[in-house]
A and B are shown apart, each in its own frame.
Chain A
Amino acid sequence: MTLLTDDQRQLHDMAKSFLAEEGTIKQQLRHWRDTGCKDGFGHGLWKQFAELGLTGIAIPEDKGGLGLGATEAALVLEEVGRNLTPSPFLTTAVATARALGGTAQGDRWFPGIVAGETVAALAVDEGKHHRPETVATAATRSGNGFTLSGSKQFVVHGASADVILVAARTGGSTGEREGLTLFAVERDAKGMEVENVTLADASKAARLTLEKVEVDADAVVGEVDNGWAPLSRALAAGRAGSAAELVGLASGAADMTTEYLKARKQFGKLIGEFQVLQHRSAHLFSEIEIARAAAYKAAELIDRGDERAELMTHVAKAKAGRSAALAVQEGVQMHGGIGMTDEHDIGLYMKRQAVLDRLFGDWRYHAGEVARIAGY
């Protein structure tokens, strides 16, 4: 069944009211942007995530977490997306936590994550596009550990993180999944330069330059040369999660636009009376509902360990990316001049959409992956 269980509905309701009350654009996104916060999010709110148990959503119960699945993460992220709430939830509590699950590094970092005190980041991309198999950052054995050299970009919250999971190559060649290893590197590690970059949506992502960064052997997450295993868990969770966040974002933008159509008058009538806008709004509604169904389905398949999960996750991220792009483009256009102002929130949705679409691969990348998996 594709319908939510009672427990899931309860969690969704809880996330809805929590984020609508505490995670609003005014209190969070605008506040931290306009005060020039270096983290781009509020630690107070992150503590509140912890008080509700949400920081441990993907962390096993015996490690102090809630031990829940991709579906529950999707429900929370839908509401994060609707409110454009900045927080480490997606990258720390959903994606990175999945990579750490069942590893010794997990035992080290989980208590801090659950407590809402630790921020963890994921460093995969090395070029302007997300191509995880092409990781070239080199990790060479030296003494009891490894030496890492290379560069990373689009490391969300990298400058605020306590620990960064860095994907590097211990074997194989560029383009291969084999030979990758995931290392847990502390943010202040010697030889790692962290440039804090502000993105279009006022969120923060870092560029890393690693120059002979020395790590112990126990910094390895999982096994040497088999980093694809924890990395693919993190990517699946991150993609399904960002798809859900995009769906929430799209709904938020579309609802805001529908309300505007019911309030704005031109030519002596409400602009929502014009059929040309009605039909475009109805088309948008359909696209968002389909994207939501795809995001839920991907999460459901991940949770069931179904073999179709990988394909459906690509579908969900691609569909959500496109639907959300349509939502924000129609949103700004239908708002007219006011939609171009910084004062109005609709433009914030457009900027966040662009970032979330690129995060963990944009819709074109995922459509290409669908073709690759299908073999054409």
Chain B
Amino acid sequence: MADLDQFRTETRAWLEANCPPEMRQPVKSEDDVCWGGRNFEFQSEAQKRWLQVMAERGWTTPDWPREVGGGGLLPAEAKILKEEMRRIGARNPLNSFGISMLGPALLKYGTEEQKQRFLPPIVRGEIRWCQGYSEPGAGSDLAGLQTRAEDMGDHYLVNGQKVWTSYADQADWIFCLVRTSTESKHGGISFLLFDMESPGVSTKPILLISGYSPFCETFMDDVKVPKDQVVGEVNKGWDVAKYLLGHEREMISGMGLGGGAALLGKSVGDIDDPALRAEIAAFDVDALAFAAMSERFIDQLKAGEAHPAMPSMMKYSGTELNKRRHELVMAAGGSDTLEWDSERTRKGKPAREWLRTKANSIEGGTSEIQLGIIAKHILRLPGA
């Protein structure tokens, strides 16, 4: 306990000294989020410096091992760091699919050489990753994917198409599920890493109902991939894919926390309708209870006590909650929040975010897929 108290004191002092005041302001828009990568343009010197000082301590990835550049913190220490950052309103120094998805998969399934090669640039925010999972014919039935990787002796030749690739047009590398065998559905999939600048890779943004294009179609046309860029065994990529999905779902479930925002009833302004107030109060009960669940889940996860299917429960509950939050924000906003491109609404932010949340319960496995996983693996219902 004394050690942890000391850690808290030191962390608090270090954050005070090193977190720039600009980085303690709430994130106002997507532009304020630091994603890193080869082509990332920092919004400010402060944003750049905040990433740099945090990465030097490995605190962009507090609980990754020191050998790969991580912070090497114990779960209790990582939690303290998070609490102390929240205390001063410090922004996340780096948002990254490398941190939340690929990293954990590489730590578990990668070779020593792969870990040394790929993890440190993730910690430092130098390489931005995207996820090549879904295909036009393989959404919920992900293992039905058709993108082929043909064994050419010293390399693979990849042909096919991915869809819903988040930020593929801005990413540097992709982790990609490909078919290396047609003998078996789940047993013919491999997990490949390659550079998005490889000849034959092209992307095309998809315009969503929100008017934003966070997702792309990604096309692979005779893309050469060196053989040492397969993670895990050939044809056993489904294990890696599933493990990574658990982490993706954990990340998405965080949406249920509403970005750590205050109670919804406090943030939507005057509520003059008793029916709406009651609905918002019921929502705030669910949101605060979910926050308690989220804390408990992370503690259980770090202690190795979480059921492997629990990320599905968290993803399901968190995303459904987030959709409800935005429905209520829109309801409270009345006709103000219907404006699509006015400066008053910062170019239709409430409406566009509301529409964006509708994807939450689809991406990373639909709510129905998550419920199926809970029914099968936790409740052990027959035929699920």
Contacts and interface: CB of A to CB of B under 8 A. Distances in A.
Physical interaction between A and B: yes
A294 interface: yes
A279 B289 contact: no
A279 B277 contact: no
Given A281-B375, A286-B317, A297-B295, A376 B266 contact: yes
B313 A1 contact: no
A281 B316 CA distance: 13
B288 A376 contact: no
A289 B293 contact: yes
Interface string A197-209: 0000000000000
Interface string B273-288: 0000110111011101
Contacts, number: 137
A294 B368 CA distance: 25
Interface in B279-336: 280-282, 284-286, 288-290, 292-293, 295-297, 299-300, 303, 305, 313, 316-317
A296 B296 contact: yes
B379 interface: yes
A135 to B, nearest CB: 24
Interface string A260-275: 0110000001101101
Interface string B73-95: 00010010000000000000000
Interface string B123-155: 000000000000000000000000000000000
Contact of B382 (A273, A364, A375): A273
Given A279-B375, A283-B371, A374-B284, A262 B381 contact: yes
A13 to B, nearest CB: 15
Interface stretch (A24-32, A48-56, A160-168, A314-322): A314-322
Interface in B368-384: 368, 370-372, 374-375, 378-384
Interface in A343-376: 363-364, 366-368, 370-371, 374-376
Given A262-B381, A285-B313, A311-B288, A368 B375 contact: no
Contacts of B76: 1
Interface residues of B, number: 42
B251 interface: no
A251 to B, nearest CB: 12
B157 interface: no
B289 A294 contact: yes
A28 B364 CA distance: 47
Interface of chain B: mostly helix, strand, loop or mixed: helix
A282 B375 contact: yes
A2 interface: yes
A270 B293 contact: no
B265 interface: yes
Interface of chain A: mostly helix, strand, loop or mixed: helix
Contacts of A319: 285-286, 289
A283 B380 CA distance: 14
A319 B286 CA distance: 7
Given A3-B300, A286-B316, A296-B296, A291 B281 contact: no
A261 B383 CA distance: 12
A312 B255 CA distance: 20
Interface in A1-54: 1-3
B271 interface: yes
A294 B292 contact: yes
Given A261-B381, A311-B288, A297 B271 contact: no
28 contacts: A2-B295, A261-B381, A262-B381, A270-B383, A273-B383, A279-B371, A279-B375, A281-B381, A282-B316, A282-B375, A282-B378, A283-B316, A285-B379, A286-B317, A290-B292, A290-B317, A296-B292, A312-B292, A318-B282, A319-B285, A364-B278, A368-B278, A370-B265, A370-B281, A370-B284, A371-B277, A371-B280, A374-B265
Given A2-B292, A282-B371, A376-B265, 7 more contacts: A273-B384, A282-B374, A285-B378, A370-B265, A370-B285, A371-B265, A376-B277
Interface of B: 76, 79, 263, 265-266, 271, 277-278, 280-282, 284-286, 288-290, 292-293, 295-297, 299-300, 303, 305, 313, 316-317, 368, 370-372, 374-375, 378-384
A-B complex: 5 closest residue pairs judged by Cβ atoms: A282-B374, A278-B375, A297-B292, A294-B289, A293-B293
